[in-house]
Amino acid sequence: MGRVSSNLRDVRRLKAKMGQDNFTLLFPDGSSETFGPDDCIANFLRNAERLKALHRGEEIPAPHPLAQALLRGVNLNAEQLEAAESQRRLDAQISQESSVIGD
């Protein structure tokens, strides 16, 4: 049992050193960008702002940098792929509805 708790402490220390729940997205040009839980929350809130602006007929804010990065990322894991697809659907909805409203 002592070995398990020792390993857990090591994992916790390593996680703290590595930035806890941060994740890095890789791009086709070889560059990368790191995001954390706060970016996920900010992305969600920005998407909500974008939808509100669309339905109020206001200027639509630009996507959050995380949203843009998800769409450019390569070698995404399953969770990131799902987030990227959700972002694509939202962006398509905003684009489609804003063109109808603009007519």
The reported pLDDT for the residue numbered 48 is 94
What the block records as the tokens of 46 is 């920005």
Quick one: pLDDT at residue 16? 60
**pLDDT value at position 1?**
44
Q: What is the pLDDT along the chain (103 residues), one digit of tens a residue?
A: 445 555 667 666 655 655 568 999 999 999 999 999 999 999 999 999 999 999 999 999 999 999 999 999 999 999 899 999 999 999 999 999 887 765 5
Distance CA 60, CA 41 (A): 19
Given a contact cutoff of 8 angstroms between Cβ atoms, the answer to whether 54 and 60 are in contact is: yes
Question: Residue 26's beta-bridge partner residues?
Answer: 32, 74
CA 97 and chain centroid, separation: 23
- 73 and 23 Cβ atoms separated by less than 8 Å: no
pTM attached to this predicted model: 0.76
Q: What is the helix (H) or strand (E) element at residue 23, kind and residue range?
A: strand 23-26
